[in-house]
Chain A
Amino acid sequence: MEIPYTVQPRPDIGLYNAKLGIWLFLASEVMLFGGLFSAYILLRVGAAPGEWPHGWLNVSLGTLNTLILALSAITTLLAWVACKVGEFGKFKFFHACTLALALTFLCVKMYEYHDKWIHYEIKMTDGRFADGHFESAVYVDKAANKELEEHSFRGMAFSEVSGGVTNNYELASVTLDGRIVTDEKLLDDLRSQKNIEREPVKIERAQIKHMENYGPWHNTFLAIYFTLTGLHALHILGGSIVIGYLWGPGRKMWKTDPARFTNRIEVSGLFWHFVDLVWIFLFPVLYLI
């Protein structure tokens, strides 16, 4: 049995099935992101004056990603237009551009996440705060009188088995590329401070009261930042898989049913534009306000 209205629009509403379906899906997506934006408003307004972090995110990278997504939205539209006018070569080119731009967006996002992941704040026993990017840590096994320098943080202690012997290493010192401040509030508003000087800062284990990276657990801002951008990145990834499929194995349909294939491109394009729209609001809300 053939499913009706996969190509031709329904006479009563003027839309084919998939297009009605994607708009219903996008409506549910608006509610999903709407709920999260609502949560953001609640957290942002509830924060005490001067406590909400400012300038923690790289505006240049956010701007770059905004332009990358805008450009990819344009190339996906041009890919659909190319299908409409029957120029399959142009379709392949523009869809490949969309895919490349989507992956570039994800790479930039991963770079930003990594930057937060290796950024640490250390609460020191004397009440001061050390803040900066992790450079190295020295671990010692006192029993074996061994010392080890690591360039990724492995916790306060860890065990390692080598040659049948277990070495129990404990953190001896940490070196950050950053600074030491006396007031934690200085770490909140980075935008108002100009020319922040960073240098290698070595902190001994005895001086460390608490050490934590800038992951989602660090504070409320980072929790909502990772939630919103993480969900958005998942949408980008999902969209990229669909676009990749239509550009690769899925394009066989062009030979058998070009009108239906063009509709598929249109539907995937609508999803992609929605993802761009979400970013248009995420960028100012997280990076600028």
Chain B
Amino acid sequence: MSESHPVDFKTYLRRCLYVLIAVVCTTSLMIGASFLPNYGWPAKVAMILSIACVNAFVVAGFLMHLLSEKKLIYTLLGFTVFFVAGLFVLTIYALHDFPTGTTH
């Protein structure tokens, strides 16, 4: 949330309105996608999570000003993404070793 340019309240208000509209639209799309009858579970999951990523991009990019941040923040986030991705990859890599019957 840093800004090197002069801050204008009305510009921000307009930006926030667009963000809110985007959030409402993406949330509606996610709910709609979850009720689609002719798609399998993997396709639905991919679709819903893709929309969630768009939603997250809008919030992080515009509200957190990640689109215009300092280089150090990007480096820091790069490391974070690397480690989180590693965490998920390890989980998926161990597919053959998954515990079964995880519901009771």
Please list the residues of chain A having a beta carbon within 8 angstroms of any beta carbon in chain B. Answer: 13-15, 19-20, 23-24, 27, 30-31, 34-35, 37-38, 41-48, 51-53, 59, 63, 66-67, 70-71, 73-74, 77-78, 80-82, 84-85, 87, 90, 219-221, 266, 269-270, 273-274, 276-277, 280-281, 283-284, 288-289
Q: Are B55 and A15 in contact (CB under 8 A)?
A: no
Q: Are A15 and B70 in contact (CB under 8 A)?
A: yes
State A288–B45 Cα separation when bound (angstroms): 9
- Counting residue pairs across A and B whose Cβ atoms lie within 8 Å, the total is 148
Interface residues of B: mostly helix, strand, loop or mixed?
helix
Distance of B3 from chain A, by nearest CB (Å): 7
Could you show 11 A-B contacts with beta carbons less than 8 Å apart?
A38-B87, A38-B88, A44-B102, A46-B102, A87-B9, A220-B103, A273-B1, A276-B59, A276-B63, A283-B30, A284-B52
Q: Are B12 and A27 in contact (CB under 8 A)?
A: no
Q: Are A219 and B59 in contact (CB under 8 A)?
A: no
CB nearest to B72 among chain A residues? A13
CB nearest to B4 among chain A residues? A14
8 A Cβ contacts from B51-90 to A: 51-52, 55-56, 59-60, 63-64, 70-73, 76-77, 79-80, 83-84, 87-88
Q: In the assembled complex, which residues on chain A have CB atoms less than 8 Å from the CB atom of B52?
A: 280-281, 283-284
Q: Are A31 and B84 in contact (CB under 8 A)?
A: yes
Interface residues of A: mostly helix, strand, loop or mixed?
helix
Q: Are B103 and A219 in contact (CB under 8 A)?
A: yes
Q: Are B103 and A47 in contact (CB under 8 A)?
A: yes
From A31, A273, A288, give the contact of B63 (CB < 8 A): A273
State A15–B70 Cα separation when bound (angstroms): 8
Q: Are A284 and B98 in contact (CB under 8 A)?
A: no
Q: In the assembled complex, which residues on chain B have CB atoms less than 8 Å from the CB atom of A63?
A: 27, 31
Other A-B pairs, 10, CB within 8 Å; known A73-B59, A81-B7, A220-B102? A27-B77, A30-B84, A31-B87, A43-B103, A67-B27, A273-B63, A277-B56, A277-B60, A283-B52, A284-B34
